[in-house]
Structures are given as C-alpha cells and as structure tokens.
Amino acid sequence: MSREESTGRNWTVTRWLRYWLSTRTRIRPTTKAHYTHDIERFLIPRIGALTLTELNARQLTAAFAEISNTTNRYGLPHTVCTLQHVHTTLRAALNAAVREGVIAANPATRVELPARERPHAEVWTEPRVAAWRATGEHPVVAVWTPEQLAEFLHAVRHDGLYAFWWLLALRGLRRGEAAGLRWTDVDLDNAQLAVTRQRTTAGYTIHEGPPKSATSRRIVALDMHTVRLLRQHQRHQQRHHVRRDNTGKPYLCSGYVFTRPDGAPFHPGYYTQRLRLLIDRTGLPPVRLQDLRHGAASLAHTAGADLKTIQDLLGHANIAVTAEIYTNVLPAAQRRTAEKIARLVLNASRRP
C-alpha cells in the first residue's frame, strides 16, 4: 500500500480538512476565514469522523440536507448561498486530495444542491415603501430612487463622512475600496482617483491588501462636484490635525482619506453601522452599503452610460455580471422606454 493510499484509509476528514487549510498560504485572509468557518461550523461536526476513503456522495447529500434543516444565528434556515459556499470549500479540499493521490475521485462533485438565484435589485417605489411601512418586510437588494438618494444626502450633509456616502452612491466604490483609499491615490487636479488597495475584515480583524481582483484595480473619473466635496473633506481633516496639535493631543498622519478625528482610519464595519443609523434617522426605506453600489450602477445606466462604461466604473471582470445584477433600470427610465415603444406602434398604425 502506498503512502497516499494509507493516508486515504487512515486520515479522518477532520484531519485532512485542517491539513489542507494549513497549506492555503497564498489566499486572502478573508477567504481563509470563510474556509475555516465552513470547516469548523458545518463540515467537521457532520462528516469529520469518517475517513477519506469512507466518504461518499450519499453521506454528503445527507450532511447538506441536515445543514439546510438547521438555522443561522438569526434563527432563519440556512440559505442556498450558504450551502453552496460550504460545498465550494469541501470540493476544493477534496480536489486537493485527488491531486495528491489520497482518494481516486471527489465525491463532492456528485452532490446536487438547489440552484442559487441571484437577487435582483428592486427599486423603492411608492407601493414598496408603503408595504415596508406596513409590514417591515423589504427586498434583499433594494435601490433608492434618485429623489430618495437626494433626500438622504441632504439629510446627512453635515455628517463627517458625507463625502464617503456621496462617493459610494455616485461612483460605486466597494466599502473596502473606500475604506482603504489614500490621498496619494486621489488626483483632484485631474478629477480622478485610483483604486489600488482595500481594507476588509475577517471577523473583526482588519486586513489590507490589493483590490478584490485585477479588474478591481482601476481609475475612477470624478465630476467637479465630487472634486469640491473631497477638497472640503480634506480641509476639514486638516483642521482636525491643527486643532489636536494646538491642544497637545496626538494625531496620526495615516494618509487615509476617511479617518477619525485623531487621523486613524475607521474600522470598515463602522461604515455599515453608521449608514444604518443615519437611514433610521431619516425615515427612508433601508438600503445596505452594497445597495449604494447597485444604485450607482442604476444611476449611471439611467444617465445613458453603456454596459462597458458601467463595468469599468465598478471594476467587474465580466460584463455579464454587470448586465445581470447591477443595471436595474430606475422607474423613470423604464417609463421613457415604454413611451418610446408605444409611440413606435402608434405611429406605425397611423400610416396608410
């Protein structure tokens, strides 16, 4: 019996999963945190005691059925998205076992899971707002109308992070990209900024590194109003620096665009909490930080931008993702399109 075959017969799934995880040294910290959660929370409790050669598709199907019948920390059933994430982790770990000759085939490839439906952005129309006020229920992905966004931005115009909210809502930066933005990457004279890094979290731990993908590293054009807002924000930040120096308090020259009064960058999770608080104060229907990104794409589409321009704005690797998820057309644009189509037919019917 070879050493590889012996490993397959004698190593438990628990031992292999933890060994495989220890070899993932070139992945992002956030990815490793997700792998660890999937392994410790879902896989080891259900299949960890089996040896690698004992593992089969029937056992895995039963394990995933058990996961789907349990609830998450909010008391809700685990979603198809969660099941697929766990399946992706298991498949990757067992693919490594196949490559090393520990097992002959990957049983995870024969497990069938429900298809994941991508949630499409739904606009906060008046009927949806009325239903939300009556029941508290809201779409998974929700987008403000331009009027609602304008109302929010007016309400938070004195907030210290006003430029942050404006940048996400109109230029579609990801939370981590805006959190990691430095003044050295902002060229106000030429009205552009460069996305070169991001600050993300794994649990509560902060990790800073390159953007999500190669295409996420991009140049974002800025309009003149956004340039003015960033200049005002920069002067406000400099006043904080001078004020703390005058009072003998330390100031950290971190170089980040969005910082606390002492110059240190915010924890990325703070932006999520802050947005929720500000929306609650305005009484507007809820949106998430990610929904502001959806809204930026919808606004760009309504303003006449083509899919390629929106893809470049958001830093997508695949234009199909842009088309499928991020270009939910706002009601006014839909009405204009509907009027044009109807006019074509009505004009044709008047001809001899």
Q: Which of the four pLDDT bands, split at 50, 70 and 90, describes residue 261?
A: very high
Examine the domain organization and report whether 169 and 280 are in the same domain. yes
CA distance 23 to 146: 48
Among residues 8, 121, 111, 9, the alpha carbon closest in space to that of 60 is found at: 111
Q: Does the residue 166 lie in any domain?
A: yes
Domain count, the chain: 2
Co-location of 165 and 258 in the same domain: yes
Radius of gyration of the chain (CA): 25
Domain-located, residue 342: no
**Quick one: tokens of 18?**
């933890």
* One domain for residues 45 and 184: no
Of the listed ranges 182-186, 212-216, 315-319, 323-327, the one predicted with least confidence: 323-327
The answer to whether residues 295 and 149 touch, using CB atoms and an 8 Å cutoff, is yes
Residues 96 and 175 in one domain: no
DSSP of 160-190, one letter per residue? TTHHHHHHHHHH---HHHHHT-BGGGEETTT
Is residue 52 located within the same domain as residue 200? Answer: no
pLDDT at residue number 307: 81
- Position 351 scores a pLDDT of 61
> Same structural domain for residues 8 and 68?
yes
Look at 182 and 297; give whichever has higher pLDDT.
182
**What confidence score (pLDDT) does residue 105 get?**
94
Mean pLDDT of 133-153: 92
**Residue 47: band (very low, low, confident or very high) from pLDDT cuts 50, 70, 90:** very high
Domain end call among 45, 78, 110:
110
Q: Is 333 part of a structural domain of the chain?
A: no
Q: Do 149 and 97 fall within a single domain? A: no
Give residue 129's pLDDT.
95
> Is 86 found in the same domain as 144?
no
Query: Which pLDDT belongs to residue 352?
Result: 55
Residue 265 inside a domain? The answer is yes
Judge if 85 and 130 occupy the same domain: no
Q: What is the pLDDT of residue 233?
A: 97
pTM: 0.79
Distances (CA, A) of 329 to 126, 156, 185, 317: 16, 26, 31, 21
CA distance 284 to 138: 12
Mean pLDDT of 278-288: 96
Residue 115 covered by a domain = no
269 and 232 in a common domain:
yes
Mean per-residue pLDDT, 196-223: 88
- Listed residue (57, 54, 73) closest to 65, CA to CA: 57
What is the rounded distance in angstroms from the CA atom of residue 313 to the CA atom of residue 307? Answer: 10
DSSP assignments along 13-81, one per residue: HHHHHHHHHHH--SS-HHHHHHHHHIIIIIIHHHHTTSBTTT--HHHHHHHHHHHHTSB-TTS-BPPHH
pLDDT reported for residue 330: 63
55, 86, 110 — which closes off a domain?
110
Helix (H, G, I), strand (E, B) or coil at 217: coil
Who contacts 112 (Cβ-Cβ below 8 Å, separation ≥6)? 61
Say whether both 145 and 67 belong to one domain: no
Tell me what the mean pLDDT of segment 30-45 comes to: 93
Q: What is the mean pLDDT of residues 23-31?
A: 86
Residue 87 domain flag: yes
Q: How confident is the model at residue 315 (pLDDT cuts 50, 70, 90)?
A: confident
Specify if 106 maps to a domain. Answer: yes
Structure confidence at residue 310 (pLDDT): 85
CATH number at residue 50: 1.10.150.130
Q: How confident is the model at residue 326 (pLDDT cuts 50, 70, 90)?
A: low
C-alpha closest to that of 191 among 152, 220, 213: 220
Work out the average pLDDT over 5-20.
90
Q: Which domain holds residue 25?
A: 3-110
Q: What's the CATH code of the domain at 276?
A: 1.10.443.10
Residues 66 and 182 in one domain: no
pLDDT of residue 38: 95
Q: Number of H helices and number of E strands within the chain?
A: 16, 7
Does residue 120 have a pLDDT over 80? no
